[in-house]
Amino acid sequence: MVVMGICFLGNGPSGICLSYLLSGHTPYVSQDAAHPNPLLQHKLREQPDLSLLEQDLEYLCEGLEGRSSNPVAVLFDSLLLPDSDFGLEHSSPLIWRYEPERAIPHLVLGRGPPGGAWHAMEGSMLTLSLANWMELPGLKLKDWLREKRRNVRNDRATPAEIALYYQHYVSQKSLEQNFACGTTVTEVTRVHGDGDEPCWRVTGVQRREGEELGEEVPFSILARNVVLATGTHDIPARLRVDGESLPFVCHSFWELEAAISRGELDELSEPVLVVGAGLTAADAVLATRHLSAPVYHAFRRSVTDPGLIFNQLPKLLYPEYHKVHQMMTQQQYGSPTSSSSSSSYPNYLSFPKHRVVKFLPNKKCILESDLGQKTAIQVSKALVLIGSHPNLSFLPDHGRSLGVYRNEPISCRRNPIDVDPFTNRVTEAPGMYAMGPLVGENFVRFLKGGALAIVSDLHKRQKLLMDDTWVRADTDWSIKG
Ligand SMILES: Cc1cc2nc3c(=O)[nH]c(=O)nc-3n(C[C@H](O)[C@H](O)[C@H](O)COP(=O)(O)OP(=O)(O)OC[C@H]3O[C@@H](n4cnc5c(N)ncnc54)[C@H](O)[C@@H]3O)c2cc1C
């Protein structure tokens, strides 16, 4: 059993950014810098000697607007990358000082290597954001990329590169000693020690390196505070229709890639059905078309629906996604142009405003339009790529009591964990914080705000934390970067 101050679950960009701030890397506003927002600039000048962590975040956030609904996320983003929405490269007014005396002992638990979901995306060909939106404080992604490849062709990077950048970040910033990789948390419960303040018991298993293959050793930690940063990409969403478990129906991009590498798909194959209209579905359409294999593409929204991600992305920055949207628009099932031989996108057919009714063992799939018209299509494979859910099985009732809508499953978009917007403290659980997609912040660009809110809150309660350093370690606990 180990007793400690803060333990966080999840070693993706959220956990890494939080570990950086907790390790004593402290943001200050440079005296010479000018922020393009005059109101914010004025406020930043009021207490120049205070670090950002000690400032009143709520006050600084007032009046700021941005693409996130979380005020601290907008504040931190506008300080790290001022005016980046307009494609401008205004330098950040923040300077980072390493102040080890501020460091708060903490432990980051995660299943795989540091980088989280980005390691699972490695095979995917595309990235969404401008590369610097994915960077973490204090290490320019572009500089690192430039060192890695001779010339950077554009502002974007592949998921594999981003995953490597996060891993490199952890070693470059000397954070490894806080990371226990290869650990899976299986249970988090609130416990009351003898006369002690209540705290959290985190239990799970750790894969040991260099020992017999697959050997997992149980561990148990007591922590005054826990941070949930486990992301939301663990369980692929399902349609819940008949036949969904048939072997030709897949729920991840990986299964498509595996089929491609086995040489199962080419121009002579029956069409691949892609279900969904998000970016992973778009990646699947592009990958399948790259092999000249025919594609059917079914999704529930109309192509002009403003909620469709393609209608929100700047066309110039994301030409390949724009191309998919063009295909979805021009090649609609039942429209005269879609069957013409002069079509610019042969071998692709979209089924907007359609849902899957069922899959049959003979690889047929029944679709139904919003007008109730049914269509049977023959396919070689079906890829259901309609999002994913977090796996919070380590919490009582899968964390349902923590959501904005109590007793409903937690999801990034529909039911994030209910937190205080300026501290990220979980409303229903004292001593628990949450950040990242679990609180509805799906982009790396904005999840950094959660780290600022948490560390700022912890610093303000630091007196309390002074006694919360590691006080007992009577287990053979191994920490691996
Ligand atoms: C296909 C795809 C493309 C994307 N493209 C972009 C993009 O271009 N730009 C962008 O900003 N964002 C993008 N995202 C979103 C991005 O993945 C998230 O913003 C980011 O990774 C969230 O970081 P996180 O640290 O909160 O969670 P994650 O990166 O999901 O990391 C959480 C970690 O916690 C671990 N974990 C979970 N449960 C446990 C447990 N019980 N015990 C131990 N460890 C556990 C997981 O294994 C994982 O390693 C994309 C996502 C997907 C799926």
Higher pLDDT, 436 or 462: 436
| Structure confidence at residue 479 as a pLDDT band (50, 70, 90) | very low
CA-closest residue to ligand 1 atom 8: 128
Rounded to the nearest angstrom, the distance between the alpha carbon of 356 and the centre of ligand 1 is 28
Mean pLDDT of the chain: 87
Whether the per-residue pLDDT at 401 is higher than 70: the answer is yes
Q: Which atom of ligand 1 is nearest to the CA of 393?
A: 41
Do 220 and 255 have their domain in common?
A: no
Higher pLDDT, 175 or 413: 175
Whether the per-residue pLDDT at 210 is higher than 80: the answer is no
Which residue range forms the structural domain that includes residue 456? 2-233+389-473
Ligand 1 and 127: CB distance under 6 A: yes
Whether the per-residue pLDDT at 87 is higher than 90: the answer is no
| Structure confidence at residue 154 as a pLDDT band (50, 70, 90) | low
CATH number assigned to the domain comprising residue 287: 3.50.50.60
Which residues make beta-bridge pairs with 214?
none
Question: Cβ of 315: how many Cβ atoms within 10 Å?
Answer: 12
pLDDT of residue 472: 37
CA-closest residue to ligand 1 atom 38: 230
Whether the per-residue pLDDT at 276 is higher than 70: the answer is yes
Chain-centre distance for alpha carbon 417: 15
Do 283 and 375 have their domain in common?
A: yes
| Domain-located, residue 121 | yes
pLDDT of residue 213: 61
| Domain-located, residue 478 | no
Helix axes 279-290, 253-261, angle to 10 degrees: 10
Do 249 and 363 have their domain in common?
A: yes
pLDDT of residue 450: 97
Last residue of a domain, one of 364, 386, 408: 386
pLDDT of residue 301: 95
Rounded to the nearest angstrom, the distance between the alpha carbon of 12 and the centre of ligand 1 is 6
The whole-angstrom separation of Cα 316 and Cα 323 is 11
Higher pLDDT, 340 or 150: 150
Question: Cβ of 97: how many Cβ atoms within 10 Å?
Answer: 11
pLDDT of residue 480: 39
Whether the per-residue pLDDT at 316 is higher than 90: the answer is no
The whole-angstrom separation of Cα 177 and Cα 299 is 46
Residue to mutate (ligand 1; options 84, 230, 439; most atoms within 8 A of CB): 230
Do 187 and 322 have their domain in common?
A: no
| Domain-located, residue 257 | yes
Do 381 and 433 have their domain in common?
A: no
pLDDT of residue 474: 34
Lowest mean per-residue pLDDT among 4-13, 128-137, 374-383: 128-137
Rounded to the nearest angstrom, the distance between the alpha carbon of 292 and the centre of ligand 1 is 31
| Structure confidence at residue 307 as a pLDDT band (50, 70, 90) | confident
CA-closest residue to ligand 1 atom 20: 444
Ligand 1 and 14: CB distance under 6 A: yes
Q: Which atom of ligand 1 is nearest to the CA of 124?
A: 1
| Structure confidence at residue 337 as a pLDDT band (50, 70, 90) | low
Quick: pLDDT tens for 236-261.
889 999 999 999 999 988 888 888 88
Ligand 1 and 437: CB distance under 6 A: yes
Rounded to the nearest angstrom, the distance between the alpha carbon of 116 and the centre of ligand 1 is 5
pLDDT of residue 365: 98
Do 363 and 259 have their domain in common?
A: yes
- Cβ atoms 167, 184 nearer than 8 A: no
Whether the per-residue pLDDT at 212 is higher than 70: the answer is no
Q: Which atom of ligand 1 is nearest to the CA of 283?
A: 1
Q: Which atom of ligand 1 is nearest to the CA of 110?
A: 44
Whether the per-residue pLDDT at 402 is higher than 80: the answer is yes
pLDDT of residue 198: 86
Higher pLDDT, 461 or 452: 452
The whole-angstrom separation of Cα 181 and Cα 205 is 11
Q: Which atom of ligand 1 is nearest to the CA of 436?
A: 26
| Domain-located, residue 316 | yes
Last residue of a domain, one of 357, 386, 415: 386
Question: How many domains does the structure of the chain reveal?
Answer: 2
> Which stretch of DSSP H or E encloses residue 78?
helix 71-80
**What is the percent of the chain with per-residue pLDDT over 70, rounded to a whole number?**
87
Name the pTM for this structure: 0.85
Residue to mutate (ligand 1; options 184, 203, 443; most atoms within 8 A of CB): 443
pLDDT of residue 465: 52
Do 431 and 353 have their domain in common?
A: no
Last residue of a domain, one of 365, 386, 407: 386
The whole-angstrom separation of Cα 452 and Cα 380 is 48
Whether the per-residue pLDDT at 204 is higher than 60: the answer is yes
**Tokens of residue 40, six digits:** 């914010």
| pLDDT average, residue stretch 212-221 | 82
Whether the per-residue pLDDT at 126 is higher than 70: the answer is no
Do 374 and 431 have their domain in common?
A: no
Q: Which atom of ligand 1 is nearest to the CA of 232?
A: 30
